[in-house]
Structure 1
Amino acid sequence: MPVGEGSHHNKILGVRGEDLAAAYLERLRYRIIDRNFRCRGGEVDIVARDGKTLVFVEVKTRRTAGYGVPQLAVTPFKQRQISKAALAWLTRKGMLDVNARFDVIAITILSPDAPRIEHITNAFELAY
């Protein structure tokens, strides 16, 4: 594989996973508000509304279980990055007083026709 090609394939896999996660959430009647919000120090893959609760969703996608289940990649460091981005998003929107939670959607694509989606609600608390 040429230099840089692996990261290109990972980016494509990540986008596919985020698209699958957004479609999954919409089937559950979540309303997608924002995607791929970036700020200094962090990123949130999906911001959605579940009833009156704002949900910050981290999506992890894998092609194989060889590196472990995808949700294990949401380390304490990653949780802090997501938390920073969530606070920045809330601040920019003037929504610091809303109910919010952090979910993780873990997707394993062993077969293109049958991705395995695991949704972990309240996966972690706001991390500093």
Structure 2
Amino acid sequence: MSRQRSETGKQGEQLAADFLVAAGYRIVARNYREKCGEIDIIARDGPTWVFIEVKARRSRRYGAPIEAVTSHKQRQISATALLYLSRHGLLEAPARFDVVGIDLADAVRPQIVHLKDAFSTS
């Protein structure tokens, strides 16, 4: 991964975390990794466990950020979330998958799109 792409990702994840905290979410983990994949942010929205994929882009050349969450990525996130819930004894807890897209084309005013319940388990 290029340095600029890595910096874009880190900046996007920080903006997303700040946005979610301001919206009342409690961040539990960031960059949670398992053999089958990674989850950018794990948070609580009241009683619900939320597994959040963050996509940030500096231009729309390749489409909107949220369009980059492919079905393959959704399956990886689902499998990783299931392992997280299982390892923490939370299989009966309510859970959902959100996507936060960050458009950084305007560095002064990034555009944030939050899709709640963006996809179901695959």
Matched residue type, 2:106: S
**Structure 1 consecutive aligned stretches of length 4 or more whose deviation exceeds 6 Å:** none
Determine the C-alpha separation between the residues in 2 that align with 1:81 and 1:117: 23
Q: Does 1:36 align with 2:36?
A: no
Q: Deviations over 1:78-126 (max 9, x none)?
A: 0000011111111121111100000000000012211000000010001
AA matched with 1:107: I
Mapping of residues 15-94 of structure 1, within 5 Å:
15-94=10-89
TM-score for the superposition, normalised by structure 1: 0.92
SS of the residue aligned with 2:83? helix
CA RMSD between the two structures: 0.9
1:111 aligned partner: 106
**Identical residues among aligned pairs (%):** 48
SS at match of 1:66: coil
Structure-2-length-normalised TM-score = 0.97
Unpaired segments of 5 or more residues in structure 2? none
Unaligned residue ranges in structure 1 (runs of 5+): 1-5
Per-residue CA distance 1:19-76 (angstroms, 9 max, x = gap): 0000000000100001000101111000000111110000000000110001111010
Number of equivalences = 122
- Pair 1:126-2:121 in alignment: yes
| Structure-2 separation of matches of 1:14 and 1:86 | 20
Amino acid in structure 2 at the alignment position of 1:17 = G
